[in-house]
Amino acid sequence: MSFSTTIKNELTRIDSTQSEKLALLSAFFRNNAIYTTDRIELITENSTVAKYLFQLLKDTYQVTLQIEKRKNNNFAKNNLYIMTLHEKMDLILKDLSVISERGYYLVEPQDYMVSTIEDQRAYLRGLFLAKGSINDPKTSRYHLEFSIDTREEAEFDQDLLNNFDLNSKILTRDKGYMLYVKEAEKIGDFLRIIKATSALLYYEDIRIYRDHKNMANRLNNCEQANIDKTIETATRQVEDIQYLIDEVGLDLLDDKTKEAANYRLKYPESSLLELSEIISLETGNKITKSGLNHRFRKIKELVQRLKDSKK
Q: Given this model, what pLDDT does residue 253 score?
A: 83
pLDDT at 112 over 70: yes
Q: How far apart are CA 279 and CA 10, in angstroms?
A: 66
Task: Note the pLDDT tens digit of each residue in 98-109.
Answer: 998 888 999 999
Contact in structure between 157 and 127 (CB atoms under 8 Å): yes
pTM: 0.69
Task: Note the pLDDT tens digit of each residue in 234-285.
Answer: 888 888 888 888 888 888 788 888 888 888 888 887 888 888 888 888 888 8
Contact in structure between 288 and 273 (CB atoms under 8 Å): no
Q: How far apart are CA 112 and CA 116, in angstroms?
A: 8
- pLDDT band with cut points at 50, 70 and 90 for residue 223: low
Average pLDDT of the chain is 88
Task: Note the pLDDT tens digit of each residue in 131-143.
Answer: 999 998 887 688 9
Q: Which CATH superfamily is domain 3-195 in?
A: Homing endonucleases (3.10.28.10)
Domain spans of the chain? 3-195, 216-310
Q: How far apart are CA 168 and CA 165, in angstroms?
A: 8
Q: How far apart are CA 95 and CA 245, in angstroms?
A: 94
